[in-house]
Structure 1
Amino acid sequence: MRTAHVVGVGMTPFTKPGVSGEDYPGLARTAVVEALADAGIEYSRVEQAVVGYVHADSTAGQRALYEVGRTGIPVLNVNNNCASGSSALFQARQLVEAGMADCVLAVGFEKMKSGSLGAMTYPDLASPVQPFLDVAAGHRSPSGAPAMLELFRNAGLEHREKFGTTAEQFGKVAEKNHRHSANNPRAQFRTVYSLAEIMDSTQVCEGLTKLQCSPTSDGAAAAIVASEEFVSSHGLESRAVHIVGQAMTTDSDATFTSGSAFDVVGRDASQRAANQVYDRTGLGPADLDVIELHDCFSINEILMYEALGLCAEGDGGRLIDEGATTYGGRWVVNPSGGLISKGHPLGATGLAQCAELVWQLRGEAGDRQVEGARTALSHNHGLGSACVVTMYRRAS
């Protein structure tokens, strides 16, 4: 099988909805043009494109890319909720590895409304998240919070009850990620908060304060995925980052029958995706240097430490207490600031993770550079569900 490499990445700053003044075609164009320049190629070299987004009409991908060029290539649109960007990357990699194309563009974008995400965009259609809400209602009495908050609140309370995890340990995740984003000029938030400020911010539901939640955001990110032959023929060896393993999973019966709120928010799907990547690559948590994971809420980062195998079940709180997931620790998790502080424009998130890890592996991350980073992992989850885990290594 052929190998796939990321040879160029681009990303807009992530901003509060409406602040940039750009509609999605402009955001996407900025990210794509930067990715092309990063790879040193023209748009005419791109043979196919895959576009991820959630809140836009059909063929929005075509509308966005026509701002870059009208070359007649196939353009595929992907909506996998919060994993739409990494789903676009997943499909681009498959096209390259299968020999269907030598150079594929993956791009994700989002223009969002302010405020908490609701459970339904089209109230006259069946809700894809209703089965999750139904299961959650059997676990714990509903709190009346918005749907996403409700599900992650349940997982956080279960973790505290089963393992003695404290509210402060969840707060330390947010403190870490806000601190990391201070060195990211593209992050939506760059303010450093103390743990006390995190804990004293507005409580949005039981166990979660405002500064522990990812915001709604506008933004776009893009990656150029190329075959080894393309890398060689275009002299891109010094820019190439190898996608050494990648897996996408959806929900199994365990999501709905395990009796755990952890699986409702993606533990089972995430664990299976990570294990598939570890099995395929022969690499594991001990080989990783830097990780971008889906911290939509601080609770989820603790859960994902465990699902990704960084520690045993129940030990996520210990990792954050020990400083194992920040600079000077065993791994640096979310050096970008993560979703909590970098921002979370749904369709762009997975590709923003890709961009961050490519910069880290090339040694181009500036003040947030993880020293000696060689192997990296991204984790991106969209409820409903799709989970994509990707492992990267510097190719040269």
Structure 2
Amino acid sequence: MNRKVLVAGVGMIPFTKPGASAPYPQMAAEATRLALQDAGLDFAQVQQAYVGYVYADSTAGQRALYEVGMSGIPVINVNNNCSTGSTALFLARQAVESGAAECVLALGFEQMSPGALGAVFKDRPSPFDRFDQTTDELVGHAEIPLALRYFGGAGLAHMQQFGTQLSTFAKIRAKASRHAANNPLALFRTVVSEEDVLNAPVMWPGVMTRLMACPPTCGAAAALLCSEAFAARQGLRGAVRIRAQAMTTDGPETFESRDMRELVGFSMARRAASRVYEAAGIGPADVDVVELHDCFAHNELITYEALGLCPVGGAEAFVVDGDNTYGGRVVTNPSGGLLSKGHPLGATGLAQCTELVQQLRGRAGARQVEGARLALQHNLGLGGACVVTLYEAPDRSAA
């Protein structure tokens, strides 16, 4: 399994608030058509499809793709919580790399409901029962929605161990808004200041305000992956390469460490990133741009350390010194991230892919990271799964 895998095309539609979107088949079909157009390919050339979503019935992936074409190809439905989109990408990459297929579609979509995430099937054990029990024991606050307790509790653990200030999370959210102002696909494009974030409605006193949490949204994104030989036969130029990729799930430390940061995937992310760096023969200092899973500002800060962008305990200085934005060490979430772009669960990983592919092509407009050659993607789903992907820029002289 050493064939080069290329991203031939990407597509993404603007994310919207729940209730304001088209139905999921239309959203997914539009993103797919955009990716096909971007690659210059026809749907008849796609040999397999991996379709990710969380809140839809079985075979919704087929229903979505019937809007594009009924070619009879295998369609595999994927659900891996918030890492669903990048899990579909992982499976598509494996199919191409192994030689099982030459051209594969990874598609993600979500048609969400307003409000906090909650259980759908309440007559059976929850996949989060152990997470909930540990969270109850470590942080309590049963009146607060669980996702907020998970990630707010992880941020609180960082504050307690390293003295991290609430203002640091506010700085992360303000940075996201400045980046999103240059992204026409972001849901929230209004620039907010650190003070605006701190003065927003309080969700957990001393730990989180409303602006530090990403909004539930609806949307879709897609990527077409192909082999190097397929690209050569089709005359495709300027395709971005997937240099390395790793996927991990929870280890014993998730519950045994009694640390909320582990409960939300710190070591899971660190293992995936380490495998990617090792496979690519690089280190985190070689990465130019990162799209990471900032479902809460707290998780962005913790993920800086998990990805090795700064030492453990060094995330606050990383933020305060401006090393997480333009002019610093590495630009994180130039798209505005989930905090500004929104988080339609199944689409998020492929939206991150879309942003990084455009960055490496040099087509990101006002948010372009100058000279970007290596881009890192981190997509996390509790329960749990983490996918880290490293992309490499094409030879622009051949584009």
Secondary structure class of the residue paired with 1:248: strand
Higher mean Cα deviation, 143-152 or 57-66? Answer: 143-152
Q: 1:116 Cα deviation (Å)?
A: 1.1
Provide Cα deviations, 1:335-385, integer angstroms capped at 9, x if missing partner. Answer: 000000011000000000000000000001111111111100000000000
Which residue number in structure 1 is paired with residue 14 of structure 2? Answer: 13
Q: Which amino acid aligns with 2:65?
A: L
Verify the 8 A CA contact 1:177 1:338 in the aligned structure 2: yes
Q: Which amino acid aligns with 2:55?
A: H
Secondary structure class of the residue paired with 1:372: coil
Higher mean Cα deviation, 141-150 or 354-363? Answer: 141-150
Q: 1:24 Cα deviation (Å)?
A: 0.3
Verify the 8 A CA contact 1:144 1:150 in the aligned structure 2: no
Q: Which amino acid aligns with 2:53?
A: Y
**Whole-Å separation in 1 of the counterparts to 2:139 and 2:38:** 49
Q: Which amino acid aligns with 1:327?
A: Y
**Whole-Å separation in 1 of the counterparts to 2:328 and 2:294:** 19
Which residue number in structure 2 is paired with residue 70 of structure 1? Answer: 70
Secondary structure class of the residue paired with 2:158: helix
Secondary structure class of the residue paired with 2:197: helix
Q: Which amino acid aligns with 2:16?
A: T
**Whole-Å separation in 1 of the counterparts to 2:98 and 2:108:** 22
**Whole-Å separation in 2 of the counterparts to 1:204 and 1:12:** 30
Q: Which structure 1 residue ranges, 4+ long, deviate > 2 Å from structure 2?
A: 140-143
Task: Provide the alpha-carbon RMSD of the alignment.
Answer: 0.8
Matched ranges for 1:328-339 at <5 A: 328-339=327-338
Matched ranges for 1:160-171 at <5 A: 160-171=159-170
Q: 1:268 Cα deviation (Å)?
A: 1.0
2:204 counterpart of 1:217:
no
Q: Which amino acid aligns with 1:24?
A: Y
Q: 1:125 Cα deviation (Å)?
A: 1.6
Matched ranges for 1:16-55 at <5 A: 16-20=17-21, 22-55=22-55
Secondary structure class of the residue paired with 2:326: coil
Which residue number in structure 1 is paired with residue 258 of structure 2? Answer: 259
2:92 counterpart of 1:92:
yes
Secondary structure class of the residue paired with 1:244: strand
Q: 1:140 Cα deviation (Å)?
A: 2.4
Which residue number in structure 1 is paired with residue 267 of structure 2? Answer: 268
Q: 1:142 Cα deviation (Å)?
A: 2.9
**Whole-Å separation in 2 of the counterparts to 1:14 and 1:340:** 12
Matched ranges for 1:236-251 at <5 A: 236-238=236-238, 240-251=239-250
Secondary structure class of the residue paired with 1:8: strand
Q: 1:157 Cα deviation (Å)?
A: 1.1
Higher mean Cα deviation, 212-221 or 142-151? Answer: 142-151
Q: Which amino acid aligns with 1:130?
A: D
Q: What's the % identity of the aligned pairs?
A: 55
Structure 1: 5+ residue stretches without partners: none
Which residue number in structure 2 is paired with residue 3 of structure 1? Answer: 4
**Whole-Å separation in 1 of the counterparts to 2:322 and 2:51:** 37
Verify the 8 A CA contact 2:136 2:142 in the aligned structure 1: no
> How many residue pairs are counted as aligned between the two chains?
393
**Whole-Å separation in 2 of the counterparts to 1:190 and 1:152:** 24
2:305 counterpart of 1:306:
yes
Q: Which amino acid aligns with 1:78?
A: V
Q: Which amino acid aligns with 1:175?
A: A
Verify the 8 A CA contact 2:361 2:394 in the aligned structure 1: no
Provide Cα deviations, 1:225-262, integer angstroms capped at 9, x if missing partner. Answer: 00010111111132x10001000000000101012110
**Whole-Å separation in 2 of the counterparts to 1:343 and 1:170:** 18
Which residue number in structure 1 is paired with residue 144 of structure 2? Answer: 145
Q: Which amino acid aligns with 2:20?
A: V
Q: Which amino acid aligns with 2:346?
A: G
Q: 1:156 Cα deviation (Å)?
A: 1.2
Q: 1:2 Cα deviation (Å)?
A: 0.9
Secondary structure class of the residue paired with 1:177: helix
Verify the 8 A CA contact 1:290 1:376 in the aligned structure 2: yes
**Whole-Å separation in 2 of the counterparts to 1:365 and 1:243:** 19
Q: 1:205 Cα deviation (Å)?
A: 2.0
TM-score normalised by L of structure 1: 0.98
Structure 2: 5+ residue stretches without partners: none
Matched ranges for 1:314-333 at <5 A: 314-333=313-332
Secondary structure class of the residue paired with 1:381: strand
**Whole-Å separation in 2 of the counterparts to 1:298 and 1:313:** 17
Q: 1:18 Cα deviation (Å)?
A: 1.6
